Structures are given as structure tokens and as C-alpha cells.
């Protein structure tokens, strides 16, 4: 099959949210720390009536209904999540309720887990299945679902929650450029959840940021090498119309794009202009390690890349800024924002995606956007997702109530048979 990729998408996030502005006041931090410092506007969270299962059931049902896909047409269902509901039973099996009702129990695939990367692993599994000799002509379905909650402290405002469903098949409007990808995987303790009695991670914030940027550099270098081998000319940022990043908080996305610009400067890419060259020249001789620690370099990169950021990155930042870190769904919610903002003007465009999961696993890959055929085209996806209404219909909850809800969830966490009806 040709042009395997994403045919359709839908997103769900909880209607309950807390504004970062109100949270700053509540936490007693300096004004602007979360809104400007982290670059976040608002954060969604699950109240006690929602979880990753309910969110993913909602989004799967909605996608099938709105794109008129018969549940019998799904042959592979892969879930990415790092939210533990059960240490053995996969989230995928909960979702089988939707398919069993139609008599379809012949669906491969289970859950993939590694921090925020599981969604990308699930997506590659589905794409690989459609491209393989075991493909039976039916669709793949990928679900990314997480609730991101942190203990009190500086990481708490970087939470969020959402579920995304993506239908996978051939002749897709969002087609994978399968030959172009670079991965970086290694052993690190930047963010992890060793305490099985708690939903909260242990996080070394600074280390996680450095690990993210190191993985980004490594993936970008490999992506560029693959491109050059294939196309016979060097790749630079000018070869992609948009860059979409895993988005724990917007400031890291700004830093990441700046970092790619610095890579292009070091690679002597012709599009890096004179002014930028002069700005970045003092940092050219820094060692790798020094370059991750230099705040001056970080600022210089962001400054030099600012005009390109507005064109190539900003359109993908809407949902992550409004909803927060959605872990596995975060990268795809950023991509959904790009679809929403640019819609059919994306046809013919390349979009580079960077997926990162702490611990750590990372991949850079890209999509080529195409016309598609109704109902599988970007305009229809944008209509179905209806992001503006979903954002508008939310209810702002006061921070005190948000904190109270988290306390209830802490207490309930791991409660045996809580989810079992009989
Ligand atoms: N106005 C404007 N900016 C401010 C203000 C203010 N009043 N106060 C602080 N800032 C800025 C800081 O200068 C800093 O910006 P910079 O990085 O551009 O210099 C930024 O706000 C953050 O402040 P810090 O004090 O450096 O960091 P903090 O202790 O608040 O922690 C962190 C931030 C590390 C991101 C924390 O929220 C965290 O650990 N989050 C979870 C980890 C995470 O998401 N890692 C990303 C990859 S792993 C994953 O996806 C889970």
C-alpha cells in the first residue's frame, strides 16, 4: 500500500481546567512564572468522574461515528499511555467494549509504554502493520491517552490530560515519509515513576530538559543524514514547512526550535543569515555539554530563530498551551493544532515531528500532507475535532478545588476493584 499514514483524527480533553494565571496566585510564585516562564495558558485535569479509560472510550467512539467507520473495519488497535490503571490488563482491552458490541474481536495490538513516547511507538506499530505482509486490508487505530499530574512543587503546573485517536491506512492525507527518521534511545533517570503506590513521577526537571535537547540534537543529525543520503543534498530547516514538538510546556518548544537553528548554524546551512551567524559565532566552540548548560546560548538561539518560530512552530502550540502536557497525546495534540490553524493550506507541505519520552526514547520523523479523499482530508478532520468549541465549553475551576481533586485522586489511587463493577 502507498502513502500509509493518518486518515482521520479526533481529540478529547476534560472540560475541567485551571488557568495558569490563577495557579500562579494560588501557589504564591512570582507573576508570570507559569504564563511567561513556562509559556502555558491553562491546564486541563480529570475530575473524579474521568480517567484515561473514559477519555479514550469517548474519543474512539466519536472518531468511528463522525468519520462513519464501521467498528468491524478495524484490524489493529494500538494504545500509547504511561498512566497505569492496571499492571497487567491493557487499556486496549477496555476499548474492546466498543468493538465487541459489533462482533469484532479480531483486532491485534496492545499498549506501548515509555513515558510520553508510547503514542509514537503505537503509531509506528500500526503503520508497520499496514505496510507489512500480514495486513488484511482493514484500518489501524491508534489511541494516545494520559493524565499528567505532579506532586506539589515546580512541576505541578506542567500537568494536563487528553486522549487522541488516529485512524491509520493507505492513501492518507497525512502520509509518513517512512525513509526519513532518526531515533535516539538511552538509559537515564530524568523522569520516572518508581513508586508504584503513587501516580506522581519523580522528576529531575533540569536533567529532563537537557536529556530532551540532547535527544533532539541526536535525532536531528540522523534525520539530516538520512535526508542527504536519499535526496543527495543537505537538509536544513528551510526544507520543512513546520516543526512539531512533544510539548511538556511551551518554553521547552521555543528552546528546542532555537536548538535546531543552532544545529543548522553549526552545519553551516546557507539559509542562516549574517546577523544570526554573528549572534551565534561566540558559541560555536562550546563543547556539547557546555552548550546545554549555557543560558546565554539558549537566549541567543531563541532570538535568532524567533522569526522562523512564528511561521514554522507557533501554529502547532495552541492545544498544548491551553491543555498542558498530555504525555503521549502531547505531540499529536500539537499536530492537531497545526491542522486546525492551517487546514487545507497544508497540502504539499512537509511537517517534521519530534517525539520524546523520558527514560529515554526519542524519534524524529516527518509527514507529507496530501489532498486525501472525503471524509479523510484535513478540512474534515478539522471540522470533526472542532477545537474552538471544545476549548470554549470548558469550565475554569478555582485552584483550591483543583488541589482538592488531586488529593481525592491520591487517596483513591491504586484502590483495588475501584473500576470493577461486579
Ligand atoms: N516571569 C517570567 N519568567 C519567569 C518568572 C517570571 N516571574 N519566574 C521564572 N521565570 C522563568 C525562568 O527564568 C525560566 O525560564 P528559562 O528556562 O527561559 O530561563 C522558567 O521560568 C522556569 O523557571 P525555573 O525556575 O528555571 O524552573 P522551575 O523550577 O519553575 O521548573 C520545570 C520548571 C523544570 C520545567 C518544572 O516545571 C518541571 O520539572 N516540569 C516537569 C518536567 C518536564 O516537563 N520536563 C520536560 C521533558 S520530560 C516530560 O515531558 C515529562
Let me know if 246 is a catalytic residue.
yes
Q: What beta strand segments (E) does 194-252 contain?
A: 202-203, 242-245
Give the burial class of 218: count Cβ atoms within 10 A of its Cβ; 0-12 exposed, 13-18 middle, 19 or more buried. Answer: middle
Q: Whose CA is nearest to atom 45 of ligand 1?
A: 208
The angle subtended at Cα 79 by Cα 76 and Cα 85, nearest 5°, is 135
Provide the CA 265 distance to its chain's centre, in angstroms.
27
Give the residue, out of 158, 252, 258, 331, with the most ligand 1 atoms within 8 A of its beta carbon, to mutate for a pocket test.
158
Provide the ipTM: 0.98
- CA 264 to CA 80: how far, in whole Å? 32
Atom number of ligand 1 nearest to Cα 190 = 48
117 lines ligand 1 (CB under 6 A): no
Answer whether 184's CB lies under 8 Å from 213's CB. no
Question: What's the gap in Å between 153 CA and the centre of ligand 1?
Answer: 11
Please identify which residue in the block is written with the cell numbers 492537531: 336
Per-residue model confidence as pLDDT tens for the chain (422 residues): 999 999 999 999 999 999 999 999 999 999 999 999 999 999 999 999 999 999 999 999 999 999 999 999 999 999 999 999 999 999 999 999 999 999 999 999 999 999 999 999 999 999 999 999 999 999 999 999 999 999 999 999 999 999 999 999 999 999 999 999 999 999 999 999 999 999 999 999 999 999 999 999 999 999 999 999 999 999 999 999 999 999 999 999 999 999 999 999 999 888 899 999 999 999 999 999 999 999 999 999 999 999 999 999 999 999 999 999 999 999 999 999 999 999 989 999 999 999 999 999 999 999 999 999 999 999 999 999 999 999 999 999 999 999 999 999 999 888 876 555 55
212 lines ligand 1 (CB under 6 A): yes
Helix 250-266, helix 295-312: angle, nearest 10: 100
Provide the CA 178 distance to its chain's centre, in angstroms.
19
Atom number of ligand 1 nearest to Cα 252 = 46
- CA 233 to CA 254: how far, in whole Å? 27
Let me know if 231 is a catalytic residue.
no
229, β-bridge pairs:
none
The angle subtended at Cα 140 by Cα 334 and Cα 65, nearest 5°, is 75
| Element (DSSP H or E) covering residue 112 | strand 111-112
Output the CA–CA distances (angstroms, integers) from residue 140 to 64, 96, 127, 143, 374, in the order listed: 12, 14, 8, 10, 18
Give the burial class of 285: count Cβ atoms within 10 A of its Cβ; 0-12 exposed, 13-18 middle, 19 or more buried. Answer: exposed
Output Rg (C-alpha) for the chain, integer angstroms. 21
- The pLDDT, as a whole number, for residue 83 is 97
Answer whether 90's CB lies under 8 Å from 53's CB. no
Q: Could you tell me the domains of the chain? A: 5-412 (3.40.47.10)
Please identify which residue in the block is written with the cell numbers 487546514: 343
- Dihedral of CA 208/338/98/135: which sign? negative
Q: Which of 42, 50, 76, 82 is catalytic?
A: 82
Q: Which three cell numbers stand for residue 14?
A: 476534560
- CA 98 to CA 120: how far, in whole Å? 23
- The pLDDT, as a whole number, for residue 344 is 85
The angle subtended at Cα 412 by Cα 406 and Cα 414, nearest 5°, is 120
Let me know if 184 is a catalytic residue.
no
166 lines ligand 1 (CB under 6 A): no
- The pLDDT, as a whole number, for residue 323 is 98
Output the CA–CA distances (angstroms, integers) from residue 119 to 24, 125, 323, 357, in the order listed: 31, 10, 17, 10
- Dihedral of CA 325/162/166/77: which sign? positive
Question: What's the gap in Å between 246 CA and the centre of ligand 1?
Answer: 16
Q: Which of 76, 184, 246, 340 is catalytic?
A: 246
- Which residues have a Cβ under 8 Å from the Cβ of 100 and sit 6 or more positions away? none
Question: What's the gap in Å between 248 CA and the centre of ligand 1?
Answer: 10
Which has the closest alpha carbon to 257: 185, 225, 305?
305
- CA 152 to CA 124: how far, in whole Å? 35
Atom number of ligand 1 nearest to Cα 36 = 2
Residue ranges in 67-144 assigned as alpha helix (H): 91-100, 118-131
Cis peptide, bond prior to residue 132, ω within 30 of zero:
no
Give the residue, out of 38, 189, 200, 358, with the most ligand 1 atoms within 8 A of its beta carbon, to mutate for a pocket test.
38
Taking the chain, what is the end-to-end CA distance rounded to the nearest angstrom?
45
- The pLDDT, as a whole number, for residue 419 is 54
pTM: 0.97
Question: What's the gap in Å between 38 CA and the centre of ligand 1?
Answer: 5
251 lines ligand 1 (CB under 6 A): yes
Conformation bin of residue 47: beta by default, left when phi > 0, alpha when psi is -120 to 50: beta
Q: Whose CA is nearest to atom 15 of ligand 1?
A: 37
Question: What's the gap in Å between 37 CA and the centre of ligand 1?
Answer: 6
Amino acid at each position: 500500500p502507498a502513502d500509509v499514514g493518518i486518515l482521520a483524527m479526533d481529540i478529547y480533553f476534560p472540560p475541567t481546567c485551571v488557568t495558569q494565571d490563577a495557579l500562579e496566585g494560588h501557589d504564591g510564585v512570582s507573576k508570570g512564572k507559569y504564563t511567561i516562564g513556562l509559556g502555558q495558558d491553562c491546564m486541563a485535569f480529570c475530575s473524579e468522574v474521568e480517567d484515561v479509560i473514559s477519555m479514550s472510550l469517548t474519543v474512539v467512539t466519536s472518531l468511528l461515528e463522525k468519520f462513519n467507520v464501521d467498528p468491524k473495519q478495524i484490524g489493529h488497535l494500538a494504545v500509547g499511555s504511561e498512566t497505569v490503571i492496571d499492571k497487567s490488563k491493557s487499556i486496549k482491552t477496555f476499548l474492546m467494549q466498543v468493538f465487541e458490541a459489533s462482533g469484532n474481536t479480531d483486532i491485534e495490538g496492545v499498549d506501548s509504554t515509555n513515558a510520553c513516547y508510547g503514542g509514537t511507538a503505537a503509531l509506528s506499530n500500526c503503520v508497520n502493520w499496514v505496510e507489512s505482509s500480514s495486513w488484511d486490508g482493514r484500518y489501524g487505530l491508534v489511541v494516545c491517552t494520559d493524565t499528567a499530574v505532579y506532586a506539589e512543587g515546580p512541576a505541578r503546573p506542567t500537568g494536563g490530560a487528553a486522549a487522541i485517536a488516529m485512524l491509520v491506512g493507505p492513501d492518507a492525507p497525512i502520509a509518513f515519509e517512512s525513509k526519513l527518521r532518526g531515533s535516539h534511545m538511552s538509559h537515564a533517570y530524568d523522569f520516572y515513576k518508581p513508586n508504584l503506590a503513587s501516580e506522581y513521577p519523580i522528576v529531575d526537571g533540569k536533567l529532563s530538559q537537557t536529556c530532551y535537547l540532547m535527544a533532539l540534537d541526536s535525532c536531528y543529525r540522523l534525520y539530516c543524514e538520512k535526508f542527504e543520503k536519499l535526496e543527495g543534498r543537505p537538509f536544513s530547516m528551510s526544507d520543512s514547512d513546520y516543526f512539531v514538538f512533544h510539548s511538556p510546556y511551551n518554553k521547552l518548544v521555543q528552546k528546542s526550535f532555537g536548538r535546531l537553528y543552532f544545529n543548522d548554524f553549526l552545519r553551516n546551512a546557507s539559509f542562516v543569515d549574517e546577523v544570526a551567524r554573528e549572534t551565534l559565532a561566540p558559541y560555536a566552540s562550546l563543547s556539547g555539554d557546555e552548550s546545554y548548560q549555557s543560558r546565554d546560548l539558549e537566549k541567543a538561539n531563541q532570538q535568532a530563530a524567533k522569526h522562523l518560530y512564528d511561521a514554522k512552530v507557533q501554529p502547532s502550540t495552541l492545544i498544548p498551551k491551553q491543555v498542558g502536557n498530555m504525555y503521549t497525546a502531547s505531540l499529536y495534540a500539537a499536530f492537531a493544532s497545526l491542522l486546525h490553524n492551517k487546514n487545507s493550506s497544508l497540502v504539499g507541505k512537509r511537517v517534521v515531528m519530534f517525539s520524546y519520552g523520558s527514560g529515554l526514547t526519542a524519534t524524529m520523523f516527518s509527514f507529507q500532507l496530501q489532498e486525501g479523499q472525503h471524509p479523510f482530508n484535513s478540512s474534515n478532520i478539522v471540522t470533526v475535532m472542532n477545537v474552538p468549541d471544545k476549548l470554549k465549553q470548558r469550565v475554569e475551576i478555582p485552584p483550591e478545588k483543583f488541589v482538592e481533586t488531586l488529593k481525592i485522586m491520591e487517596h483513591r489511587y491504586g484502590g483495588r476493584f475501584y473500576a470493577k463493577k461486579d
